[in-house]
Amino acid sequence: MHEDVERILLTEAQIQAGIDRVAREVTAVYRGQAFTVVSVLKGSCVFASDLIRRIPIPLELAFVSASSYGEGVESGRLEVNFFPAESEIQGRDLLLVDDILDTGRTLSRLVDEMRRRGARSVRTCVFLDKPARRATPLSADFRAFEVDNLFVVGYGLDFAGHYRNLPYVGALKRECYERPRSAAR
């Protein structure tokens, strides 16, 4: 797995420092207010679990599952696999947490859906922001890092379902995402 990484873009120490900063920003905004962190599965599970443990004020946790089905490295049709329960959305202040803001289609759709389903407010928090890829105009309210338009994996981010368990963020070797999917490790 590690041998498929061209270079490390964010070390574990850099990641933790970035999350500390975002956690302070989130805490400052929500102090004194009940809110719910909604982790967008699967990618954000690693980030969300580190982030919430650095937020020293009361919060609730919920999950939404969305996937883009596309060929190779392009994002395609978006499917929302499941939403939080109605009671976890209606009248609530939600913080949608995702691992990467790429084209913006996933978070735009989820923000709209959460509002439509009665959320009182919806903010967004992303681990990585790749503004070069944006197709929908969306800025995250909180973000840990901006990254260049490279194929990044690790710390929750996958290619073909793998590499999420790398403890750092790395750029995947071109030969790994250009080889046939059946050969991906």
Binding residues for ligand PRP (CB under 6 A): 40, 42-43, 66-68, 75, 98-106, 158
CB of 34: closest distance to ligand PRP in angstroms?
25
C-beta separation of 173 from 157 below 8 A:
no
Measure the CA angle with vertex 29, ends 27 and 31; round to 5°.
Answer: 60
Nearer to ligand PRP, 34 or 122 (CB): 122
Radius of gyration of the chain (CA): 16
Identified catalytic residue from 4, 50, 102, 129? 102
Q: Is 102 annotated in the active site?
A: yes
Nearer to ligand PRP, 14 or 103 (CB): 103
- Residue whose CB is nearest to ligand PRP in the complex, by number: 43
Tokens of 72: 């190779």
**What string of H, E and C letters represents the secondary structure of 82-135?**
ECCCHHHCCCCEEEEEEEEECCCHHHHHHHHHHHHCCCCEEEEEEEEECHHHCC
Give one word for 168, left, alpha or beta, with left for phi > 0 and alpha for psi -120 to 50.
beta
Nearer to ligand PRP, 11 or 65 (CB): 65
How far is Cα 138 from Cα 123, in angstroms, rounded to an integer?
11
CB of 118: closest distance to ligand PRP in angstroms?
22
CB of 45: closest distance to ligand PRP in angstroms?
9
CB of 23: closest distance to ligand PRP in angstroms?
20
Nearer to ligand PRP, 27 or 68 (CB): 68
Question: Coil, strand, or helix at residue 50?
Answer: helix
User: Which positions are catalytic?
Assistant: 102
